Amino acid sequence: MDIIVLKPTATEEELRHITKKLESRGLNANISKGTERTIIGVIGDTSKITEEEEDAIRAMSGVEEVMRILKPYKLASREFKSEDTVIDIAGRKIGEKKIPVIAGPCAVEGRTILMRIAEEVKAAGASFIRGGAYKPRTSPYSFQGLGEEGLRYLAEAREKTGLPVVTEIMDPRDLDVIVKYADVIQIGARNMQNFRLLLEVGTVDKPVLLKRGLSATIKEWLMSAEYIMSKGNQNVILCERGIRTFETATRNTLDLSAVPVLKQLTHLPVVVDPSHGVGKWDLVAPMAKAAVAAGADGLLIEVHSNPEEAMSDGEQSLKPDVFKRLMGELKPIAAAVGREI
């Protein structure tokens, strides 16, 4: 038994009674109050519940139906919540008709350059500013990010432009400082299965942008979302950023079929990052367009005023004028699929 659907007439008292019953069996209740119905997601090892106990719960007053979910993820599944999740970040919504674009440099490199890029992406129509202050670099000798100093610059860029900040966490020890400055916490591809980190971000009330692991299946990815949600944070945004395949012409293989697949399996919003997907700036625009056509709820695009001098991911970063042109070109594609950009 994984889901308990309550009758529309169920009272708070009946809900409390059911919750207590679950707690007495070492389980927790995740309560989702929809417009029509309240649904309880049963969290924990539900295999401990016998069929007799399940029947007893089914017979409790206020209960309409008790169901098992065959998928290993529950809270993230469409069965648990049929309506699309819309995440509101300081008035900017992800998961609605309008497709927000998260743009900015790979890393926060300095105050002046970040302010400049923030103004440029804002002028081009971006909805969020991004930039890493803690960077997951392949080499320990590469630029690792500015840490809290970088977070301060991001907060200043938000003040100046009004754009909410998306930035990556790599270590649970940085959670407090990141929560202080970020509007959305990014979990990078390399940490998609860092389960302790997932549990930690599950305890805070900031939305989490969960990138797909380098070689993660969609099921594994949704299980990682489930880790976050199981701790109470339901505001998870999935981000497809390409996976490892045998192909070397692009940095990764951008799996755009993940978008419609996820739309069937989950209610969570899906963002596409063509920049890390292809790794080359001149391939970003066509894949961004394809992502919008495929039904993406948002885009993440790396932009740098001077890509040749960028401290990371310069080859895949768009110059501001190229980004601006792309933003214009995306409009008719969004309109063709009933969206707006």
When CB distances are held under 5 to 8 angstroms depending on the partner's kind, the choice from Mn ion, ligand PEP, none that residue 136 binds is: ligand PEP
268 backbone φψ class: left, alpha, beta (φ>0; ψ -120 to 50): beta
List 74, 241, 289, 339, residue binding ligand PEP (CB under 6 A): 241
List 100, 132, 145, 150, residue binding ligand PEP (CB under 6 A): 132
Q: Which is nearer to Mn ion, 109 or 313 (CB)?
A: 313
Q: Which is nearer to ligand PEP, 168 or 226 (CB)?
A: 168
Could you tell me which of 312, 310, 331, 335 has the C-alpha nearest to residue 320? 310
Q: Does 117 bind Mn ion (CB under 5 A)?
A: no
Closest distance of CB 132 from Mn ion, Å = 7
Could you tell me which of 142, 138, 150 has the C-alpha nearest to residue 181? 150
Query: Cβ-closest residue to Mn ion?
Result: 106
DSSP for 272-334, written as a single string: E-HHHHH-SHHHHHHHHHHHHHHT-SEEEEEB-S-GGG-SS-GGGPBPHHHHHHHHHHHHHHH
Q: Does 251 bind ligand PEP (CB under 6 A)?
A: no
Closest distance of CB 130 from ligand PEP, Å = 7
Q: Give the pair of three-digit tokens for residue 34.
A: 């929809």
Applying CB under 6 A, which part among 175-183, 186-194, 195-203, 328-336 lies near ligand PEP? 186-194
Q: Give the pair of three-digit tokens for residue 25.
A: 């069996």
Q: Does 211 bind ligand PEP (CB under 6 A)?
A: yes
Q: Give the pair of three-digit tokens for residue 204.
A: 């805070």
Q: Which is nearer to ligand PEP, 79 or 240 (CB)?
A: 240
Q: Does 106 bind ligand PEP (CB under 6 A)?
A: yes
Could you tell me which of 176, 152, 101 has the C-alpha nearest to residue 328? 101
Nearest-angstrom CA–CA distance, 284 and 290: 10
The residue written with tokens 């045998």 in the block is 246
DSSP for 14-33, written as a single string: HHHHHHHHHHHTT-EEEEEE
Q: Does 198 bind ligand PEP (CB under 6 A)?
A: no
Applying CB under 6 A, which part among 84-92, 94-102, 184-192, 329-337 lies near ligand PEP? 184-192
Closest distance of CB 312 from Mn ion, Å = 6
Q: Does 289 bind ligand PEP (CB under 6 A)?
A: no
Q: Does 34 bind ligand PEP (CB under 6 A)?
A: no
Positions in the binding site for Mn ion (CB under 5 A): 106, 313
Residue ranges binding ligand PEP (CB under 6 A) = 106, 132, 136, 188-190, 211, 241, 276
